Amino acid sequence: MDLKSNHSSPVLTDPIPINKSRLGIHSNLLSYPQSGGSLSPGKYKMTPRKKPAKLDDVRSNGWLDAMKSSSPPRKKLIKGFNIEVAADDIDIAYHSWMIKYPSALKSFEQISKHAKNKKIAVFLDYDGTLSPIVDDPDRAFMSDAMRSAVRNVAKYFPTAIISGRSRDKVYELVGLTELFYAGSHGMDIMGPVKHTESDDGHPNCVRSIDQEGKEVNLFQPAREFIPMIDEVFRTLVENTKDIKGAKVENHKFCTSVHYRNVEEKNWPVIAQCVHDILKDYPRLRLTHGRKVLEVRPVIDWNKGKAVEFLLESLELSDRDDVLPIYIGDDKTDEDAFKVLKEGNMGYGILVSSVPKESNAIFSVRDPSEVKKFLKALVRWKRLEEA
């Protein structure tokens, strides 16, 4: 594909083959606007058609509100009486919320009853699920105990990590070869080669070799966006360099701008910076994560589609004897919860210590409860097999 062509849309001149299978990976996958600006030579940027943005933009379009509510506050030391009362209120709210989203630990018997004679597939988010949320994304390590719990789960059930991070990065953090990995919110999946796969295979898949030399399928539906994302990443690094605490990550198929360590008074500045850049890239869009703004291609693909894709690759889709379980903490995990809920095919488990609306069925409070749940699954399976 000629990415530097003079056509009005180089990314569209030679689109990757589009699969029309029941996964829904059809031409709508690339549902970004196809017109609306001209390309600067050699770049992926559209020339702006509007006046430069005013600071008002990010206030009026809801970005700032979303930024403020994007991550629950960490626990604070409670000293004064008034704060204790507030904490009690929070507890009451949490307990009534749990009526709607019961604890997966307390409901384990119900879950295991339903799982009897079924094949469980486990899908795990990384940040906030397997590792606690910390200030520095480069230091979001999972504990050895968690790693061992995940390793044991993978001995009994097909297990995949589906993360917003790049696939390489999440593999580096998890370090287990026995899992499947999907990075960039599912836009980069390394999955199994299907036994029944015909010779021509999946048009969006290429055969590859994993860390252990095993043949795998690499599915990258947003492959042609790599140079565009890289360009935006570099612009974001440059344009945010004077905002203290800002951090930009390149996940290959998407890029993240963290504001967790940016003073709140500067949030409008960082939001405006991302907003202004996005105006030049109509084929990219913004999503909100936990104190992070994420820029990703406008394609019809998300963690939910990644779950469907992996189930199909594992030859576990459309089967009554399969029970997928997805555990995650973030907005992006909602797409996966929704797929399971709407397909009435498994359990979404939300990791949250504060009440929030979700498509999950159950909840756990934090990664330590995730670990307990994973261990309970393994214990139950061992007993089943005994």
Measured between alpha carbons, how far is 40 from 8 in angstroms, rounded to an integer? Answer: 9
Q: Report, in Å, the least distance between residue 136 CB and ligand L263DTV3.
A: 6
Q: Would you tell me how many other CB atoms lie within 10 Å of the CB of residue 345?
A: 19
Work out whether 126 is an interface residue with ligand L263DTV3 (CB under 6 A): yes
Q: Report, in Å, the least distance between residue 24 CB and ligand L263DTV3.
A: 22
Work out whether 128 is an interface residue with ligand L263DTV3 (CB under 6 A): yes
Is the Cβ of residue 61 or residue 261 nearer to ligand L263DTV3 in the bound state?
261
Q: Does 335 qualify as catalytic in the annotation? A: no
**CA distance to 77, 114, 148, 188, 248, per residue, from 178 (Å):** 40, 26, 12, 17, 30
Work out whether 332 is an interface residue with ligand L263DTV3 (CB under 6 A): yes
List the one residue from 37, 72, 137, 227 that touches ligand L263DTV3 (CB under 6 A). 137
Measured between alpha carbons, how far is 290 from 51 in angstroms, rounded to an integer? Answer: 31
List the one residue from 135, 168, 238, 357 that touches ligand L263DTV3 (CB under 6 A). 135
CB contact set of 86 (below 8 Å; sequence gap of 6+): none
List the one residue from 134, 206, 209, 354 that touches ligand L263DTV3 (CB under 6 A). 134
Is the Cβ of residue 202 or residue 338 nearer to ligand L263DTV3 in the bound state?
338
Q: Output Rg (C-alpha) for the chain, integer angstroms.
A: 22
Confirm if 358 and 350 have CB atoms less than 8 A apart: yes
Q: Report, in Å, the least distance between residue 188 CB and ligand L263DTV3.
A: 12
Confirm if 181 and 161 have CB atoms less than 8 A apart: yes
Work out whether 133 is an interface residue with ligand L263DTV3 (CB under 6 A): yes
Work out whether 222 is an interface residue with ligand L263DTV3 (CB under 6 A): no
Work out whether 154 is an interface residue with ligand L263DTV3 (CB under 6 A): no
CB contact set of 79 (below 8 Å; sequence gap of 6+): none
Measured between alpha carbons, how far is 238 from 234 in angstroms, rounded to an integer? Answer: 6
Measure the CA dihedral 377/105/170/43, to 10°: 130
Q: Report, in Å, the least distance between residue 139 CB and ligand L263DTV3.
A: 7
Measured between alpha carbons, how far is 235 from 250 in angstroms, rounded to an integer? Answer: 11
Work out whether 125 is an interface residue with ligand L263DTV3 (CB under 6 A): yes
Q: Would you tell me how many other CB atoms lie within 10 Å of the CB of residue 85?
A: 11
- Using DSSP's 3-state secondary structure scheme, residue 352 falls into coil
Work out whether 313 is an interface residue with ligand L263DTV3 (CB under 6 A): no
Q: Report, in Å, the least distance between residue 68 CB and ligand L263DTV3.
A: 14
CB contact set of 15 (below 8 Å; sequence gap of 6+): 30, 224
Q: Report, in Å, the least distance between residue 307 CB and ligand L263DTV3.
A: 13
Work out whether 356 is an interface residue with ligand L263DTV3 (CB under 6 A): no
Work out whether 183 is an interface residue with ligand L263DTV3 (CB under 6 A): no
Q: What is the DSSP letter of 285?
A: E
Confirm if 237 and 255 have CB atoms less than 8 A apart: no
Work out whether 59 is an interface residue with ligand L263DTV3 (CB under 6 A): no
Q: Report, in Å, the least distance between residue 289 CB and ligand L263DTV3.
A: 5
Which residue's CB atom is positioned nearest to ligand L263DTV3?
A: 164
**CA distance to 133, 203, 307, 354, per residue, from 74 (Å):** 9, 45, 30, 10
Q: Taking contact as CB under 6 A, which single stretch among the options 1-9, 131-139, 307-315, 336-344 is the one that binds ligand L263DTV3?
A: 131-139
Pick the catalytic residue from 125, 127, 188, 333: 125
Scanning residues 284 to 303, which ones bind ligand L263DTV3 (CB under 6 A)?
289-292, 294
Binding site for ligand L263DTV3 (CB under 6 A): 125-128, 133-135, 137, 140, 163-165, 249, 256, 258, 260, 289-292, 294, 330, 332
Residues annotated as catalytic (active site), given as ranges: 125
